[in-house]
Amino acid sequence: MREIIVVGGGAAGMMAAVSAASVSPEVGVTLLERNEKPGKKLYITGKGRCNVTNDCTRDEFLREVARNPRFLYSALSAFSPQDMMAFLEKEKCPVTVQRGRRVFPASEKASDVTKALVRAMGERGVRLRLNARAASLLTEEGACRGVVLEGGETLRADAVILATGGLSAPLTGSTGDGYFFAEATGHQVEKPLPSLTAMEASVPWPGELQGLSLRNVTLTLTEKGKTRYSELGEMLFTHFGYSGPLVLEMSCHLPEDFSSCALSLNLKPGLSPEQLDARLQREFAAAPRKQLATVLCGLMPAALAGVFPGLCALDGEKKCADITREERQTLVRMLQALPLPMARRRPIAEAIVTRGGVSVKDVNPATMASRRLPGLYFAGELLDVDAHTGGYNLQIAFSTGYLAGRSAAEG
């Protein structure tokens, strides 16, 4: 009998347990979960609706991965988004494909995804141990041979799969245990940072626009003049700075030290500078006696129009007839490249996922096995791989978990 221990009962860990137990009746699998129930982080994904995957091709998927996409080639080939959809359907959890090819359980209840995984584990004889927190890995003769639990109990195994998650949403149990285990056994751990996170502003004016959502705008991140990210979509001003889909996605591409980066917003991406200038001339000519801030309400939400002239070093009470050509050109420039000064990322506990983790250089992408310690495998957010929103990060967990489980069981 080959014994496998999976540490961590999240998306990656549960899938690893299901996969390992599916290989052969001669494989015994024990899943250790530190919480009172598995899948706690799954319950909060997609605001409780659980965007489980994205119904796209492998190559389309890899284009949405911000860090180390090629590392996932084998995992996605072994267990694709379509395989995940078929798995859930088989486990009595119908799915639906929505806007952006995002896949949700038809019930739109994250709990149904967890139930399907727990059911699948039960059907395959996986031993689920709750309130069981690993304290360290057991190594003998240069190989991983089990884990030691808090309290001192030793559990022996032929292979161990670490699927302990990152540092985001620590209340769900993601407190970085896996990083400690990896470093203690000689693995390189890239610095954990928030990813898919909001940003704090270094100036006060964004806070004055708290709650304002802008659609069909383009957010651009540059570093030393080179574009790192530029996309059309929606963003949100908050009491601390910037959030919304565009900002969260942009954060995936932000270097650790972003002091040489600049973030800007194009409020009128559908117009060329010449077209925008012509429109301003028409607006000003039609209302020469009106104040600049009043006329700008026709180009942007009133709240933004109230602060925008000041951002351009102009007087919002100035009559449109008195606006000079140079001032109009300043307005055009700022409408299409409004600087959004950044101070820092929001705390990692608030991030959707963790960037960084176990270096992919220390992991065999064909098996998810450690290159440094035989008998040890990695899966999920613990790895230095992260992607945009849209179901990609959960699919990474499922795919790496599936491949780790199968590889560990096959030995």
DSSP 131-173: S--EEEEEEETTEEEEEEETTS-EEE-SEEEE----SSSGGGT
C-alpha span between 47 and 155 (Å, rounded):
36
- 25 with 165, same domain: the answer is yes
Q: How many C-beta atoms lie closer than 10 Å to residue 226's C-beta?
A: 8
> Region 310-339: what's the mean pLDDT?
97
Indicate the pTM of the whole model: 0.93
- 63 with 16, same domain: the answer is yes
Inform me whether the pLDDT recorded for 99 exceeds 80.
yes
- 272 with 321, same domain: the answer is yes
- 181 with 212, same domain: the answer is no
Last residue of a domain, one of 326, 345, 364: 345
- 53 with 187, same domain: the answer is yes
Closest CA to 69 of 82, 85, 58, 56: 58
Please list the alpha-helical segments (H only) found in 203-301.
Answer: 205-208, 245-251, 273-286, 292-296
pLDDT of residue 63: 97
- 26 with 161, same domain: the answer is yes
Segments forming the whole domain that contains residue 123: 2-193+354-410
Based on the structure, what is the number of domains in the chain?
A: 2
- Using 50, 70 and 90 to split pLDDT, how confident is the model at 45? confident
Closest CA to 377 of 13, 10, 11, 1: 13
- 24 with 135, same domain: the answer is yes
CB 52 within 8 A of CB 91: no
List the structure tokens of 100: 């952006």
> What's 377's domain CATH number?
3.50.50.60
- 108 with 189, same domain: the answer is yes
pLDDT of residue 305: 97
> Region 346-350: what's the mean pLDDT?
93
- 188 with 317, same domain: the answer is no
How many Cα neighbours within 13 Å face the side chain of 58?
A: 13
Last residue of a domain, one of 314, 345, 376: 345
- 386 with 294, same domain: the answer is no
C-alpha span between 43 and 50 (Å, rounded):
7
- Using 50, 70 and 90 to split pLDDT, how confident is the model at 47? confident
pLDDT of residue 60: 98
Residue 77's alpha-carbon distances to 59, 80, 209, 378, 393, in angstroms, are: 10, 6, 45, 17, 16
pLDDT of residue 170: 76
What is the share, in percent, of the chain residues with pLDDT greater than 70?
A: 100
Mean pLDDT of the chain: 96
- 263 with 117, same domain: the answer is no
List the structure tokens of 191: 């610095």
> Region 99-103: what's the mean pLDDT?
95
Last residue of a domain, one of 295, 318, 345: 345
pLDDT digits (tens, 9 = 90+) for 125-178: 999 999 999 999 999 999 999 999 999 999 999 999 999 999 887 777 678 899
What sign does the dihedral 292-295-300-302 (CA atoms) show?
A: positive
pLDDT digits (tens, 9 = 90+) for 193-233: 999 999 999 999 999 999 999 999 999 999 998 999 999 99
- 21 with 34, same domain: the answer is yes
pLDDT of residue 46: 76
Closest CA to 12 of 404, 403, 401, 406: 401
Closest CA to 48 of 104, 88, 89: 104
pLDDT of residue 1: 92
Closest CA to 104 of 42, 170, 35, 38: 42
pLDDT of residue 175: 82
C-alpha span between 392 and 395 (Å, rounded):
5
